[in-house]
Amino acid sequence: MQPLQDIGGVAVTDWAKVHAEVVDEFARGWAAPGPHAWDGFLADDVEMVQPMLRDGRGRTSWREETERLLELLPDLRGEVLTWAGRADRLFIELRLTATLGRTPLEVRVVDQLALTPTGTVVRRESFFDPAPMVRAVLRSPGHWPAWWRSGVGPLLARRRLGRPRRA
């Protein structure tokens, strides 16, 4: 991305263009999620804050959390519903869908992204109500072992008891 324009010797960011390009990449990532789906616009030291996943810093941390989530919900997909941006802040509303066993899940999420003028995401903070996912897990005792092993959820102790953390 090259959103900087030189106007009279002053670099000016075309934020509308930056926002549109980031939203396109974000949507492509959620259409086919995987640990590297968002590498094209995440800063090396991106800060991630999200419910049910470990907060972290760096692409490696995000990749690990994505792997955990996809281990539990392999058919997870997202669809961008709306978005709005103002300068270095971008808000994206999306609908995440997946199934846990035979239980369909749908969660509305709003992500707030902090951007550089070149469209690199330096911070992502996600907001959603995790209750539907927690209820689906609680109603499906057969999926408790998979949920436990995945490390997804509010019980951080599972990370020590489940699969080992990477250094």
Is 18 part of any domain?
yes
Q: 21 in a domain, yes or no?
A: yes
User: Would 167 be classed as within a structural domain?
Assistant: no
Residues 6+ apart with CB under 8 A from 140: 100, 101, 103
Domain that holds residue 126: 4-159
Residue 166 falls inside a structural domain: no
Least Cα distance to 61 among 52, 71, 53 occurs for 53
Q: Give the CATH number of the domain where residue 77 resides.
A: 3.10.450.50
Q: How many Cβ atoms from other residues are within 10 Å of residue 114's Cβ?
A: 16
pTM above the 0.85 mark?
no
Domain tally for the chain? 1
Half-sphere exposure of 13 (CA within 13 A, CB side): 15
* Average pLDDT along the chain, 167 residues, taken 10 residues at a time: 52 90 96 93 94 88 90 94 97 95 90 96 94 83 80 55 47
Cα–Cα dist 29/23, whole Å: 10
